[in-house]
Amino acid sequence: MTAEQDPENFYDAVGGAPTFEKLTARFYEQVAADAEFRALYPEADLGPAEERLQLFLKQYWGGPTTYSEQRGHPRLRMRHAPFVITHKERDTWLRYMKVALDELGLPAEYHDEMWEYFERAADVMVNTIETPEPRKGLTL
């Protein structure tokens, strides 16, 4: 590559659209198999949720801007605000995303950068603190 050429962006470096399509398909395959976690998704068909995540991730990592063209600014916290997201939901989301990401077989530098982003994004989505159940048999 010469100095005049633009460096390859992350989206292209990891394989472009097919990579993000595989990632989201594997993620939602796991969501569909988990009845408790699946219940958090209000639509009967997970297809639209998968497409939105796929478009968002493609755009975030330097691909087409289709997500913003169709839906406007991502506003992730606002879009997730109607849903109760505790640390349990965050951890489940991360567990399924980790499986999907690991299965891509990306070079460590790309894998690690994506994983760090997913951890940060998942942390930000938590909007409800779990209340521990009271212990039985204790008197204060």
pLDDT in tens, 18-61: 999 999 999 999 999 999 999 888 778 898 899 999 999 999 99
pTM for this one? 0.81
pLDDT in tens, 72-124: 665 665 555 566 778 999 999 999 999 999 999 999 999 999 999 999 999 99
Domain positions in the chain: 10-125
| Cβ burial 73-111 (10 Å sphere, 16+ → b, else e) | eeeeeeeeeeeebeeebbebbbebbeebbeebebeeebe
- Which CATH number applies to 10-125? 1.10.490.10
For residue 108, give the DSSP letter: H
- Dump the DSSP string for 54-107: HHHHHHHTTS--HHHHHH-S--HHHHHTTS---HHHHHHHHHHHHHHHHHHT--
